[in-house]
Chains A and B, each alone.
Chain A
């Protein structure tokens, strides 16, 4: 194991985070605060409680997930796309480092960043609404699992993308709609039965449901199902990355 290389990539990526502090940390915090003002205070005050929890409190897990998902994808995809774009990827490819180690460095840094961000948003939320976390360990488990899984997904997008447009396309056109429709702002039990069945096809529902359960023990689907679905997505991402490196897809040809 070339642990020095993993460390080098990890620290390089984290240095990028500190250098772009405004964009990486401050802007998601600002936009989350805006959600609280709009949905929590303005609209939320006219909505009755959802399953025994005030609306402002109810949306906290969903909002954290929204940021963690999008930021994990953005960080990881940009982290690997940028060296491809500038050409500095040559150095990574010619270094005595395994694919596993490359992924560990990039995905580790991207996931670290979005976990930190998730926790910051959690703290920000605490300023607006009263928070209580029933299962802190599970909360962290879901947070880490989601950050890692979607950083892997972002890594795949970064490898696949051959232009900035493609880099933005999946997050904008697929992930954001899935997150909004995945129950960030409502319980899918509120949907009519037909739409509820459709919603269950959305993988993000399982993430948010499980995460919300760890806060309030309210869940759209059972926790076991949430964990299985998240793990399944993680395994799929790992398989795709394994295939990418085995074939050298968009890297070595």
Chain B
């Protein structure tokens, strides 16, 4: 797949001397959903702002669809739809007027059919004549998405799209994002909800203190760094473990009712077979067992801590 966005040696230093981005290099593939994760103040929004033309870079180069964002900004920006993190909306305009305004701003001829489709896809059609000030937070968020989609962009930036949105709406929004991807739109989203990245993304980038710490396919990332946990539900309570089991570094939980074993899926030997036989030799019996994969959240926390 070819790159639709290419960021090279990008740095941003604010007037206060704060370095928000340090030599960032990143390529976004055409048609993918890319999730950018990072703690608050990591530089996610700064990076998006520079690509979209809202902030000036201090150093480096950004190409969008092969066009330089500074020398060929018209072509570059017309490919992009941006949904910023904060709910920045007009107040007294109607939904229809504000979405149509966005389309005009991006130089596209009027197309009521397209605006209608966008509003219907986002369940805003019955609100098209309402003033924005009368809408709920979740609706305002969708109005902002509608504005970003009004000019049929090839790339959609969603900066924390589901912050403050209830579970049902969030799932609805994921659905919209998937449909957009199927229609060929490249999506870059930043999020605090790791489950969102885990659910949606094809690739994941982690940014911390202005530096890209890692970019990886989600599946690879999960299997590369993923740990699994085996939980054994014991028949009787165990107060202490015999010496023969010490090297497994087991955890005794629930007052000795369950036994937890963490193992690495990428290791050659997981140690499960020998653990089970050692348990039998030690006379520890169990009713049930289950395994769970560590979540992206655990991986993320580890990464940010070590970087």
Instruction: List residues 117-166 of chain A with CB under 8 A from any CB of chain B.
Output: none
Q: Provide the bound-state CA to CA distance between A90 and B90, in Å.
A: 12
Any B CB within 8 A of the CB of A87:
yes
Q: How far is the CB of A14 from chain B (nearest CB, A)?
A: 12
Q: Which of A3-11, A200-208, A224-232 contacts the other chain?
A: A3-11
Q: Provide the bound-state CA to CA distance between A87 and B54, in Å.
A: 11
Q: Provide the bound-state CA to CA distance between A12 and B109, in Å.
A: 16
Instruction: List residues 26-71 of chain B with CB under 8 A from any CB of chain A.
Output: 52-56
Any B CB within 8 A of the CB of A194:
no
Q: How many of chain A's residues have a CB under 8 angstroms from any CB in B?
A: 26
Residue of B nearest to A98 (CB): B74
Instruction: List residues 59-114 of chain B with CB under 8 A from any CB of chain A.
Output: 73-78, 80, 82, 84, 86, 88-93, 97, 101-109
Q: Are B54 and A8 in contact (CB under 8 A)?
A: no
Q: Provide the bound-state CA to CA distance between A175 and B211, in Å.
A: 49
Q: Provide the bound-state CA to CA distance between A11 and B215, in Å.
A: 44
Q: Which residues of B contact A95 (CB under 8 A)?
A: 77, 105-107
B54's partner among A16, A93, A96 (CB-CB below 8 A) is: A93
B53's partner among A5, A9, A94 (CB-CB below 8 A) is: A94
Top 9 A-B pairs ranked by shortest CB distance? A8-B104, A87-B88, A96-B74, A96-B77, A94-B52, A96-B78, A2-B107, A95-B105, A93-B54
Instruction: List residues 28-64 of chain A with CB under 8 A from any CB of chain B.
Output: none
A-B contact count (CB 8 A): 79
Q: How far is the CB of A85 from chain B (nearest CB, A)?
A: 10
Q: Which residues of A contact B78 (CB under 8 A)?
A: 96
Q: Are B89 and A88 in contact (CB under 8 A)?
A: yes
A and B contact pairs by CB, cutoff 8 A, 19 listed = A2-B107, A4-B104, A5-B105, A8-B101, A8-B103, A12-B93, A12-B101, A19-B92, A88-B88, A90-B52, A90-B54, A91-B88, A91-B147, A94-B53, A94-B80, A95-B77, A96-B73, A96-B106, A253-B55
Instruction: List residues 260-287 of chain B with CB under 8 A from any CB of chain A.
Output: none
Q: Which residues of B contact A (CB under 8 A)?
A: 14-15, 52-56, 73-78, 80, 82, 84, 86, 88-93, 97, 101-109, 147
Most B-side CB within 10 Å, residue of A8, A9, A16, A91 = A91
A253's partner among B15, B53, B73, B75 (CB-CB below 8 A) is: B15
Q: Which residues of B contact A7 (CB under 8 A)?
A: 104
Q: Which residues of A contact B74 (CB under 8 A)?
A: 2, 96-98
Any B CB within 8 A of the CB of A248:
yes
Q: How far is the CB of A101 from chain B (nearest CB, A)?
A: 10
Q: How far is the CB of B165 from chain A (nearest CB, A)?
A: 18
Most B-side CB within 10 Å, residue of A7, A11, A90, A253 = A90
Q: Which residues of B contact A8 (CB under 8 A)?
A: 101, 103-105
Q: How far is the CB of A96 from chain B (nearest CB, A)?
A: 4
Q: Provide the bound-state CA to CA distance between A146 and B40, in Å.
A: 48
Residue of B nearest to A105 (CB): B105
Q: Are B56 and A5 in contact (CB under 8 A)?
A: no
Besides the contacts A15-B97, A91-B88, what 11 more A-B pairs have beta carbons closer than 8 Å? A2-B107, A7-B104, A12-B93, A86-B90, A88-B89, A90-B52, A90-B54, A90-B82, A91-B102, A92-B105, A93-B52
